[in-house]
Amino acid sequence: MRGPLIPQKEITNGDKMSDTTDTGRVLAADGTPLKRSLNRALRRQKLRALGLIAPLLIFVLVTFIAPIADMLFRSVENQIVSNTLPGTVQQLEAWDGISDEAPDEAVYEALYYDMFLAAEAKEHTRLGTRLNYEETGVSSLFRSSGRSVDDIGEDYIDALEDLNEAWEDESFWYTLMSGGEDAAKNSGLLEEERDRLASLTSDDFGGDIGFVPGQEMSDLLPNTARAYTSFALFTVIADEDVVAEEEPWEAVKIALVQDLKRGVDLAGYSGFGADELRAAQDMLAEQPDIAFKEAFLEMDEDWGDTDNWRTIQVYSPPFTTGYFLNAIDMQKGTDGPEARPDNQQIYIMLFKRTLFMSLMITGSCILLAYPVAYLLSNLPMRSANLLMILVLLPFWTSLLVRTSAWKVMLQQQGVINDTLVWLGLVDDASRLIMINNQFGTIVAMTHILLPFMILPMYSVMSTIPPSYVRAARSLGATNWTSFWRVYFPQSVPGIGAGSILVFILAIGYYITPEIVGGTTGTFISNRIAYHISSSLNWGLAAALGSILLAAVLILYWAYDKIVGIDNVKLG
């Protein structure tokens, strides 16, 4: 191909020049060794050339390479789990995933805070969708839990508010948590929560929010301070409200209940709200602990399903091999990768089929294109031009039109079958099935890709001097020998170029197999398209795409080793 050839020419030029300088220490006019001077001149030339192509290079990098790299990166990216459920993931590390016991209370408590925040930010359903690719049912589990997570511990909140109306008062909460204007502040906690919300929502949570948690309160009631800080950030930045004018979330009050019930020593505290806190602690001391696990199980019994927890645990790292395993019909088990059940294995078979059919298509293109290209390059100019237009005509017709035309031709009530029946070659009851299978795909794609084979072949063949064949003939070679020994070897670069073009185009083809492929003639690209546009499983689509890209690069490399890329010519 032309691309790789150009730099090669430059290198050979460079080599020639250095060859001449190697023979002696020749000096340039300014006294520097000629070799260095020449090198400098060459470098300058190269830089100038680079400067010339720079706009295009940058354009290609930005608009082509970067999105592809980004897309491929998705095949391993998995931050969504640890961003959405950071506390749960941390607590879950202690759980051994093999047992039949669901995790203990601490995990469910962490899940409560994570789920509450995620539901406020409407991110829980995204995680549900993500995990549903691995474990069926997680999607609706997360969706319904997000709706009712704020009901957990209602009784405790009611008890708190019955005890003292201050717990419903926005400004009371604000003063309590900020510790008053002059109090020492805990801006570290604020920044921590800022980062957490930013990674949860992938929005920027920067800027002043008119609230910094007080240091004393964050030491005394750590969970409450944390929950209130995220509430404050969310209220100001996402909802665009004022913290001191909004009643805190249920999760903040539950955090307070938990902090107080854990036996915080309030004796030394004499700041704002000390009396209310003490009264609340006394009241809560008489109540049983909040049972988070029970509450979640009551909400949906699937929260007790160890498979769901195992999925969360297995997919908690920020990067995963899960998509790639899925793309080769495997899955992540508790002890390493394992094969998928037989009735779900499809991708390896599709990869093989895609390769096989692309080779078939390339082969039939070679067979059909060679005589046409030969004819084109050996006809007189006038008729060659006409023939060329005929070759190019389908090229200018919409892909969909050409594919649909094959449908009309090949279907059972189509033109070919009708003709065969009319001629009496085929019985009306047993019309040939030529579409919605591999045959249909190969026929339609061969037709569509044929110009990509003819054109490089033609441009190579038209440079082969006819005198060579004539010389062979005059030396006594038969027609066949002169073609096979003299003409054909010279046309091989055209076949090579055409084959690479057609093969690489075919391997990623999507629309034609979709329309005429039926069930046995579809390609891997049809599954990629499905995951991109229907299931939204872009991670899996990216993994499949990466494998396809790698396969093409390996084949290209192999071709270079076996045939040599120098042997490819487009003209």
Partner 1 sequence: MKLTKTLMATTALTVTAVAAHAEDMADSMTLVSWGGAYQDSQQNAYAEPYKEMNDGLEVVWDESSNEAVAKLRAMDEAGNVTWDVVDVVAADAMRLCDEGLAMEIDPDEVLAPAPDGTSAEDDFGDLLVSDCFIPQIVYSTTFGYRTDMVPEGVDAPDEICDVWDTETYPGKRSLEKRPINNMEWALLCDGVAKDEVYDVLATEEGQQQALDKLDEIKDDVIWWSAGADTPQLLADGEVFMGSTYNGRLFSVIEEQDQPVAMMWDAQVFDLDGWIIPANLPEERLARALDFIYFATDTQRLADQAKYISYGPARASSAPLVGQHADLGIDMAPHMPTDPENAKNTFLYNYEFWADYRDDIDAKFQAWLAQ
Residue ranges in contact with partner 1 by CB under 8 A: 121-123, 125-126, 128-129, 132-133, 136-140, 143, 201-203, 237-240, 343-346, 349-350, 411-414, 436, 514, 518-520, 522, 527, 532-537
Phi/psi of residue 338, nearest 5 degrees: -145, 160
The residue assigned the tokens 């279907």 is 411
Which has the closest alpha carbon to 440: 522, 507, 351? 522
Contacts of 111 (CB under 8 A, 6+ apart): 85, 87, 88, 292, 296
Nearest residue (CB) to partner 1, 50 versus 348: 348
Closer to partner 1 at the Cβ: 128 or 213? 128
Between 86 and 494, whose beta carbon lies closer to partner 1?
86
- Please report how close the Cβ of residue 468 comes to partner 1 at its closest, in angstroms: 50
Q: Residue type at 80?
A: I
Least separation, in Å, of the C-beta of 17 and partner 1? 48
Rounded to a whole number of angstroms, the minimum distance from the CB of residue 159 to partner 1 is: 29
CB neighbour list of residue 551: distance below 8 Å, 6 or more residues apart: 351, 355, 507
CB of 529 to partner 1, least distance (A): 9
Cβ closest to partner 1, residue 137 vs residue 394: 137
The least CB distance from residue 372 to partner 1, in Å, is: 32
Cα gap 340→330, rounded to integer Å: 5
CB nearer to partner 1: pick between 453 and 516: 516
Least distance CB 201 / partner 1 (angstroms): 5
Helix (H) or strand (E) run with residue 525 in it? helix 524-533
How many angstroms separate the Cα of 251 from the Cα of each of 89, 180, 226, 514? 19, 23, 10, 50
Least gap, CB of 67 to partner 1 (angstroms) = 10
Give the DSSP letter string of 274-307: HHHHHHHHHHHHTSPPP-HHHHHHHH-GGGG-HH
Residue 194 Cβ vs partner 1, minimum distance, rounded to whole Å: 13
Q: Could you give the CA distance from residue 91 to residue 111 in angstroms, rounded to a whole number?
A: 9
- Shortest distance in whole angstroms from residue 139 CB to partner 1: 5
Backbone φ and ψ for 55, nearest 5 degrees, come out as: -60, -45
Q: Measured from the CB atom, is 21 or 404 closer to partner 1?
A: 404
The smaller minimum CB distance to partner 1, of residues 132 and 223, is found at 132
Residues 6 or more apart whose CB falls under 8 angstroms from that of 42 comprise 14, 17
CB 568 within 8 A of CB 496: yes
Taking the least distance from each CB to partner 1, the nearer of 42 and 405 is 405
Q: Can you count the helices (H) and strands (E) in the chain?
A: 29, 2
**Residue 493 region, left (φ>0) first, then alpha (ψ -120 to 50), else beta?**
alpha
Query: By C-beta, is 459 or 537 nearer to partner 1?
Result: 537
Residues 338, 431: Cα–Cα separation, whole Å: 45
CB-nearer residue toward partner 1: 258 or 522? 522
Nearest distance, CB of residue 361 and partner 1, angstroms: 19
Integer angstrom CA distances of residue 481 from 108, 215, 469, 478, 487: 82, 94, 10, 5, 9
Instruction: Specify whether the CB–CB gap between 220 and 264 falls below 8 A.
Output: yes
Report d(CA 244, CA 211) in Å as an integer: 9
For residue 276 the two structure tokens come to: 């209310």
| Residue 526 C-beta: closest distance to partner 1, Å | 9
d(CA 511, CA 21): 57
Residue placing its CB nearer to partner 1 in the complex, 200 or 361:
200
The answer to whether 300 and 128 are in contact (CB under 8 A) is no
CA Rg, the chain, in Å? 36
- Crossing angle of helices 154-163 and 274-285, in 10° steps, is 130
Of 185 and 353, nearer to partner 1 (C-beta) is 353
As measured in angstroms, the least distance from the Cβ of 132 to partner 1 is: 6
Q: Toward partner 1, which CB reaches closer, 354 or 491?
A: 354
CB of 557 to partner 1, least distance (A): 29
Question: Token pair for residue 427?
Answer: 């019985």
Please, which residue, 284 or 312, has the CB nearer to partner 1?
312
d(CA 419, CA 416): 5
With contact defined as beta carbons under 8 Å apart, do 508 and 548 qualify?
yes
Q: Which of 138, 136, 123 is nearest to 80 (CA)?
A: 123
Give me the least distance between CB of 129 and partner 1, in Å please.
5
